[in-house]
Amino acid sequence: MIPFSSQRGLGQDLATHLMNELDNEYMEVADLRGAIAQDLHGAFAEWEAQAHALTQCTNYLFSLSINPDQPQGPLTRAQYDDYIARTEEALGLTGQPRAVIFHIKHGREHCHVVWSRIDAEAGKAVHMAFDRDKLMMVTRAFAREHGLRLPEGYERHARGKARQMSLYEMHQQRETGLTKEERIEAVTSAWQSADSAKAFMRALEERGYILATGWRDYVLVDLYGHVNALPKLIDDRSVRTRQVRAFLDKDYPVESLPSVEEAKGLAAQHRQAIEEAGAREQTAGRREELKELQARRRAKLEKEAKALKIRQAEERVASETAMRQARDAIKRAHLDVLRRMRTERYERRATGLAGFLGRVSGIELVRRKWHRHQDRKRNAAYLAERDALRERQREARLALQRKHEMQGLDLRRKITALDRTEARELASLEQAGRAEARARHRAGHAHMPALKLELGPRGRKAVPHKAARRYTSELAQADVLPVGPALIMRVLGFHSVSAISMVAGERRSWSGVRSRSPAGRSRMA
């Protein structure tokens, strides 16, 4: 069982990596708590917003990968839950928002757990002191109780002998197809077999490395553009950085070496012709399969978008209908009251002598004024109720509009997340094609293809065609070069025609022989 943990930010990149279905035969988001959104991109975006709004924390996530040892068998879901609970308690992450994702890659099931370090109630990030040591203690206790064997690096007596690969080393291994041990073995064999700096340089080129200078005096840039410090790739405890510097400084001083960027440019030019065509051919069929997978997944999201559009239209129609019915209801109620009051007043009116006396005495006038006063109050109450209803409906209409806008934003966020996931899957496919093409080009060798580069001082271009004869003696070159006066003079150690004539005792004419330059032809003529 090998856990790997890190504090990190860039939640959207992590969500894209975890949602990659191309590199995994199976992907399941088993648990997601502490977030409104029910997808990883949305949840991580919420946690990032909390981190920026409440704290100044940049590494607001704590990511844990749990990789069971396959020879010992897979872990059950109960065992995963037990280990996750132990980790939460040891690191102070109990109750924090988290996501649990299960992957099956090449038949190997493993689990990713991502916690938010932001305590929203306290307004601060959970302090993660000595998280590696705490995780190691949790792993030991878990392994003892469940009868599991741990790697050498997790035993107390072997601490420091084994170390997990860094993220950069894992990326380098995926890109090159070579493990760190294979790279160390290749560079170490070149170091041990070389008796001079030039021989060491040639051995490095044969193994696909360029000697350059960067953040350290001597670094190696491989054929695929990755950078490593030279002393760290020599597996010999007796070799120190100062010894490497002393060995190379005479023939290859630091100021004569290319920079890391220049070396990367040279490596890129060399590998471009090697792998472009092979990578395209290798991924042609898988690219079509990936397109079909992405089309099915996008069709599901497009179906959700259409359903959302129809549902929102129905909600708007239903809302407007209900609002209109509510307005009509209070209007009808008001009119019904008016009709009833008019009917009652008409039925209670005074007639005959009582009506005459009421008109003569002025009582009827007072009664009509009182009725008009009641009608005005009743009409004012209706208008106030109608205005209040309209205000409530306006607020409800705005709330519905904001709800629909948020649903649209959430849908667009899902589309953006899908675009990022598809781009990541395509990049993974291309990376896999390059790795397969590189492995095929190596033809079974545990090192990269040779680099045929003539590296000169800065400002001079590489001359690949001269690299083959770079360390070949002049006598050996005489077997492959065309015979001419310049070659004969160089082999015999003379620098002019007159010197050859003095040794031979006579001056011979070379007018019929080709010279390498117009000046040489005129001088020998």
pLDDT tens digits, residue range 455-503? Answer: 444 444 444 444 444 444 444 444 444 444 444 344 344 444 444 344 3
pLDDT score recorded for residue 480: 42
Q: Which two tokens stand for residue 205?
A: 């080129």
- Residue 15 exposed, middle or buried by CB count within 10 Å (0-12, 13-18, 19+): buried
352 DSSP assignment: H
Q: What are the tens digits of pLDDT across the range 182-201? A: 889 989 998 988 888 888 88
Cα distance between residue 429 and residue 287, in whole Å: 7
Q: Residue 72: which of 174, 155, 141, 143 has the closest Cα? A: 143
For 3-12, 387-396, 399-408, 464-473, which range has the lowest pLDDT when averaged over its residues?
Answer: 464-473
pLDDT score recorded for residue 273: 60
- Residue 437 exposed, middle or buried by CB count within 10 Å (0-12, 13-18, 19+): buried
- The band of 275, judged by pLDDT with boundaries at 50, 70 and 90, is low
Is a pLDDT exceeding 50 seen at residue 524? Answer: no
Q: What are the tens digits of pLDDT across the range 405-438? A: 999 999 999 999 999 999 988 888 887 777 777 7
> What pairs with residue 162 in β-bridges?
159
Q: Residue 81: which of 113, 105, 107 has the closest Cα? A: 113
Report the percent of the chain where pLDDT is more than 70.
Answer: 78
* Residue 417 CB neighbours (<10 A): 21
Cα distance between residue 201 and residue 222, in whole Å: 13
Determine the distance from the C-alpha atom of residue 474 to the mean position of all C-alpha atoms in its chain, rounded to a whole number.
53
Give the CATH fold of the 2-164 domain. Answer: BirA Bifunctional Protein; domain 2 (3.30.930)
* Residue 44 CB neighbours (<10 A): 28
- The band of 216, judged by pLDDT with boundaries at 50, 70 and 90, is confident
pLDDT score recorded for residue 280: 57
pLDDT score recorded for residue 495: 43
Q: Structure pTM?
A: 0.59
- The band of 360, judged by pLDDT with boundaries at 50, 70 and 90, is confident
- Residue 198 exposed, middle or buried by CB count within 10 Å (0-12, 13-18, 19+): middle
Contacts 24+ apart (CB under 8 A), 217-222: 217/245, 217/254, 218/244, 218/245, 218/248, 218/254, 218/257, 219/260, 220/187, 221/260, 221/263, 221/264, 221/267, 222/176, 222/183, 222/267, 222/448
For the chain, the average pLDDT equals 81
pLDDT score recorded for residue 453: 55
- The band of 290, judged by pLDDT with boundaries at 50, 70 and 90, is confident
Is a pLDDT exceeding 70 seen at residue 71? Answer: yes
Is a pLDDT exceeding 80 seen at residue 143? Answer: yes
